[in-house]
Structure 1
Amino acid sequence: MEQLVDTVIEDERWEAFGLPALATRAAEATFAHLGVHGVTLALMGCDDAEIAELNAQFRQKGTPTNVLSWPSEDRAAGEPGGLPDLSGGDDDDPDELGDIAIAWETCMAEAADQGKAPQDHVTHLIVHGILHLLGYDHIEDADAELMEATETRILAAMGLSDPYA
Structure 2
Amino acid sequence: MTGDGSSSRRGEPRPDGSSGSPSLLTIDIEIRDNAWQTIGGLEAMAMRAVTAALKAEADDGGVDILAVPAELSMVFTDDEDQRSLNRDYRDKDKSTNVLSFPGVEPDEIEDAAEFAAAGGPPLMLGDMTLAWGVVSREAEEQGKTLADHLTHLVVHGTLHLAGHDHIDDEEAEVMESLERDILAHLGIADPYEVELIHD
Q: Give the TM interval when normalised to the shorter protein.
A: 0.7 to 0.9
Structure-1 residue corresponding to 2:4: none
Matched, 1:146 2:168: no
Q: TM-score, normalized by length of structure 2? A: 0.73
Q: Which structure has the larger Rg over C-alpha atoms?
A: 2
CA contact (8 A) 1:55 1:65 kept: yes
- Equivalent of residue 38 in structure 2, options 2, 6, 16: 16
Amino acid at match of 2:44: A
What fraction of aligned residue pairs are identical, expressed as a percent? 40
Kindly state the Cα deviation for residue 19 of structure 1 after the two structures are TM-superposed: 2.5
Equivalent-residue separation in structure 2 for 1:91 and 1:69 (angstroms): 27
3-state DSSP class of the match of 1:164?
helix
Q: What do the CA deviations read for 1:62-111 (whole angstroms, capped 9, x no partner)?
A: 1110000100121069xxxxxx8597333975311000000001000000
The AA in structure 2 aligned to 1:152 is R
Q: Does 2:49 match 1:26?
A: yes
Match of 1:102, as an amino acid? Answer: L
Q: Which runs of 5+ in 1 are unaligned?
A: 78-83
- Distance of 1:14 and 1:29 partners within structure 2: 21
Unaligned runs of 5+ in 2: 1-10, 12-23, 59-63, 194-199
Deviations 1:5-40 (A, max 9, x none): 111110112123133111101012112222222222
Q: Runs (4+) of structure 1 moved beyond 4 Å?
A: 84-87
Q: Describe the SS at the equivalent of 1:53.
A: helix
Greater length-normalized contact order (CA 8 Å, ≥ 6 residues apart): 1
Give the aligned CA root-mean-square deviation in angstroms. 2.2
* Distance in 1 of aligned mates of 2:133 and 2:91: 20
Query: Does residue 160 of structure 2 align to residue 129 of structure 1?
Result: no
Normalised by the length of structure 1, the TM-score is 0.87
Superposed, which structure 2 residues align to 1:77-156 within 5 Å? 88=113, 89-90=116-117, 93-156=121-184
Q: Distance in 2 between matches of 1:58 and 1:107?
A: 20
Aligned length: 159
Work out whether residues 77 and 129 of structure 2, in 8 Å CA contact, stay in contact via their aligned partners in 1: yes
